[in-house]
A and B are shown apart, each in its own frame.
Chain A
Amino acid sequence: MASSNDLDIANVTKRFGAHIAVNDVTFSVAPGEFFSILGPSGCGKTTLMRMIAGFENPSSGDIRIRDASMIGVPANRRPVNMVFQSLALFPMMNVGENVAYGMTCRGVSRAEADERATRMLERVGLKGFGDRQVTALSGGQRQRVAIARCLVLEPTLVLLDEPLGALDLKLREHMKIELKQLQGTFNTTFAYITHDQSEALVMSDRIAVMNQGRFEQVGNPRELYHSPATPFVASFVGETNRWQGVVSDGADGTIAVRLPSGVLVHGRGKSNVGDALCFARPEAIALASDPTALSALPNRFDGRVSAVLFDGANSSLLIETVGFDQPVRAVLPQAGALAGINVGAPIHLGWTSDAMKVFAA
């Protein structure tokens, strides 16, 4: 089966004793794609990445890079390079030697390796840093050295294992954009693993959401955010309100779910009978001080503001709502009429049935 993909993972399973770390995972990554694997810690994403890099062998299944099986190929012979979580720069070498290391391993002459390392450092914005010690670099510069060290080898695939995890928030936001741009300029295929949904959403062309060794859903960031396939994806990707109830009526495409308090909410989904989980995004919750403004919505409730979570453009309200056991979270537009609302103020809220996803619990 010839494939035009850079990476094909076919039914890969990895067992550690009785524990199944990676359970029958299949996916492909196209050339030039930025592919992310998103999941909570312990979901098996690191094991999956280590199998692609060659540090672990799958218990079953096949890993193919440009259509060549990698089973039995040691890590140092795979056309794959990894950016480690700790970056793993070589502290015993200076920046230039770090970048030249891989080329000298491949038998490139010292002079040529040095020259290519210098050019690569220029491309990642570290011109003239070759003689510095890696310990003398800032977090962002170390990051760029780690990536340059891989890219200079022109690998088919670059693996990135949560490389932004150790950076502070401001730098992380900056590096997200920088990584995406680097990937674009070099047009190299990136496979990125992270537990941070915002990193995955911002940078990726496609994302696989992984949970307990399995892929829950693979799709582009918008699909994952707007049409989650499973309750796990709905709750893991992005902020969301989550309610549990029992399906009372599954007629005409929309589903009515009765919450334990007796309140009925209307949403869309596949679940027709039994327990159900409902998810609604905070930004999909409409707010009004006048109940008539919400009269067109199938879900309308009255509440009282229990907390104002001011965070600039990401500000939101927690609203104590009759019939809901937890406060409902709703985005508070800072340009709207309600921007100045205070704790304790009465408020009306509502949402369309399209905005609420219902899954069988």
Chain B
Amino acid sequence: MKTAQRLTLLLMMAPAILWLGVLIVLPHVEILILSFSERVAPRVYQFGFGNYLEFFTEPLYWRTFARTAIMSILVTAVTLVLAFPIALYIARVAQGRVKAMLLLLCLLPFWVSELVRTLGWMMLLRETGIISYILRMTGLADHPVELLYNDGAVILGLVYGGLLFMIVPLANALESLDPSVVEAGYDLGGSRWTVIRRIVIPHAMPGIVAGSIIVFMLTVGNFATPVLLGGKNGLWFTEQIYAQFITRFNWPQGAAFGMLLLLLSSAIVWAGLRLTGQGLGTTLRQA
């Protein structure tokens, strides 16, 4: 009986274990090993830290790395600030059909592939694009304006892509707040700002952290948006990994970069959890 139960459990978990093992653990182990192999001669490799040393000695690499980290944090913060009022409205004000409608509106852009969505932004922002055209027609600009290929465009695209993943956990967290607790906050003399700061935000904290982790990870690992909207100025770390693997055919260097990116996102998520005093468990439940 006991062994039969154990067997059932094992069989039921087999797909998940296979998934994790074959698609996540195995490649990462491979990448980890690869990242420590140095090329000493054509087709001759030996163990060494050269790939990691290369990262620290070449300013382009670590600057891109730092830039990716800072921009991703910035994107996460902007997404949070934009998503909070939307989530608050969906969770506390909208009722019934309107609520479902609003969530659907947030979801709608994701029916289109990320590439097409990003190309959509390019059509709007490029020198011969719609916004530039409108600016010229209304006389606000006297020559075509290039809005693409700058940090603003990259942030815009990334925030747009992350918004839904921030709104859903936030709205979930806010929905569970008892309306009378908010009323009590006002009744005892709290201003709107006090109520938000001392009651609504602490209550929504697990949702805020969950949404921020998701958006941060999506942003750090994004490739298409910074490349397309940022162009040469995009300088996203994933581009460096891509270049090492595909253009330079230097897999060990690419593997080292991959491991560094994994370390970066883990470290920042850990720091975020520590800073907000949230446990990983409660956060995952909220997400």
Q: Does A341 contact B (CB under 8 A)?
A: no
Q: How far is the CA of A85 from the CA of B188 in the complex (A)?
A: 15
Q: Is the CB of A75 within 8 A of B187?
A: yes
Q: Is the CB of B189 within 8 A of A153?
A: yes
Q: Is the CB of B178 within 8 A of A86?
A: yes
Q: How far is the CA of A75 from the CA of B184 in the complex (A)?
A: 10
Q: Is the CB of A149 within 8 A of B183?
A: no
Q: Does A37 contact B (CB under 8 A)?
A: no
Q: Does B268 contact A (CB under 8 A)?
A: no
Instruction: Known A-B contacts: A53-B187, A101-B185. Give 20 more (CB < 8 A).
Output: A54-B186, A55-B183, A74-B186, A75-B183, A76-B186, A77-B189, A81-B188, A86-B178, A88-B180, A88-B183, A89-B181, A89-B184, A90-B198, A91-B203, A92-B203, A93-B198, A102-B188, A105-B190, A150-B188, A153-B188
Q: Is the CB of A81 within 8 A of B199?
A: no
Question: Please, what's the 1-or-0 string for B167-199, where 1 marks a CB less than 8 Å from any CB in chain A?
Answer: 000000000001011011111111100100011
Q: How far is the CA of A7 from the CA of B184 in the complex (A)?
A: 21
Q: Does B279 contact A (CB under 8 A)?
A: no
Known: A55-B183, A88-B180. A76 touches B189 (CB 8 A): yes
Tell me the smallest distance from the CB of B26 to a CB of chain A, in Å.
43
Known: A92-B202, A92-B203, A101-B198. A85 touches B180 (CB 8 A): yes
Partner of A76, one of B191, B202, B203: B191
Q: What is the chain A residue whose CB lies nearest that of B204?
A: A92
Q: How far is the CA of A82 from the CA of B186 in the complex (A)?
A: 10
Q: Does A132 contact B (CB under 8 A)?
A: no
Q: How far is the CA of A182 from the CA of B181 in the complex (A)?
A: 23
Q: How far is the CA of A150 from the CA of B188 in the complex (A)?
A: 7
Chain B interface residue count, Cβ-Cβ cutoff 8 angstroms? 17
Q: What is the chain B residue whose CB lies nearest that of A86?
A: B180
A residues near B185, Cβ cutoff 8 Å: 90, 101
Partner of B178, one of A54, A88, A102, A153: A88
Binding site for A on B (CB under 8 A): 178, 180-181, 183-191, 194, 198-199, 202-203
Q: How far is the CA of A270 from the CA of B15 in the complex (A)?
A: 82
A residues near B199, Cβ cutoff 8 Å: 90, 92
Q: Is the CB of B191 within 8 A of A81?
A: no
Tell me the smallest distance from the CB of A3 to a CB of chain B, in Å.
24
Q: Is the CB of A82 within 8 A of B203?
A: no
Q: How far is the CA of A113 from the CA of B185 in the complex (A)?
A: 16
Q: Does A106 contact B (CB under 8 A)?
A: yes
Chain A interface residue count, Cβ-Cβ cutoff 8 angstroms? 26
25 A-B pairs within 8 Å (CB atoms) are namely A53-B183, A53-B187, A55-B183, A55-B186, A74-B186, A75-B183, A75-B187, A76-B186, A76-B187, A76-B188, A76-B189, A77-B189, A82-B183, A82-B187, A85-B180, A88-B178, A88-B180, A88-B181, A88-B183, A91-B181, A93-B198, A105-B189, A105-B190, A106-B189, A150-B188
B residues near A53, Cβ cutoff 8 Å: 183, 187
Question: Please, what's the 1-or-0 string for A123-160, where 1 marks a CB less than 8 Å from any CB in chain B?
Answer: 00000000000000000000000000110010000000
In this complex, which of A76, A80, A149 has the most chain B Cβ atoms within 10 angstroms of its Cβ?
A: A76
Q: Does A225 contact B (CB under 8 A)?
A: no
Q: How far is the CA of A92 from the CA of B187 in the complex (A)?
A: 17
Q: How far is the CA of A153 from the CA of B188 in the complex (A)?
A: 8
Q: Does A84 contact B (CB under 8 A)?
A: yes
Partner of B189, one of A55, A92, A102: A102
Q: Is the CB of B184 within 8 A of A82?
A: yes
Tell me the smallest distance from the CB of B234 to a CB of chain A, in Å.
41
Q: How far is the CA of A93 from the CA of B197 in the complex (A)?
A: 12
A residues near B203, Cβ cutoff 8 Å: 91-92
Question: Please, what's the 1-or-0 string for A64-107, where 1 marks a CB less than 8 Å from any CB in chain B?
Answer: 00000000001111001110111011111100000001100110
B residues near A77, Cβ cutoff 8 Å: 189
Q: How far is the CA of A76 from the CA of B194 in the complex (A)?
A: 11
Partner of B183, one of A84, A91, A92, A106: A84
Tell me the smallest distance from the CB of B124 to a CB of chain A, in Å.
42
B residues near A105, Cβ cutoff 8 Å: 188-191, 194
Known: A90-B185, A101-B198. A84 touches B180 (CB 8 A): yes
In this complex, which of B186, B189, B191 has the most chain A Cβ atoms within 10 angstroms of its Cβ?
A: B189
A residues near B198, Cβ cutoff 8 Å: 90, 92-93, 101
A residues near B194, Cβ cutoff 8 Å: 105
Q: How far is the CA of A101 from the CA of B198 in the complex (A)?
A: 9
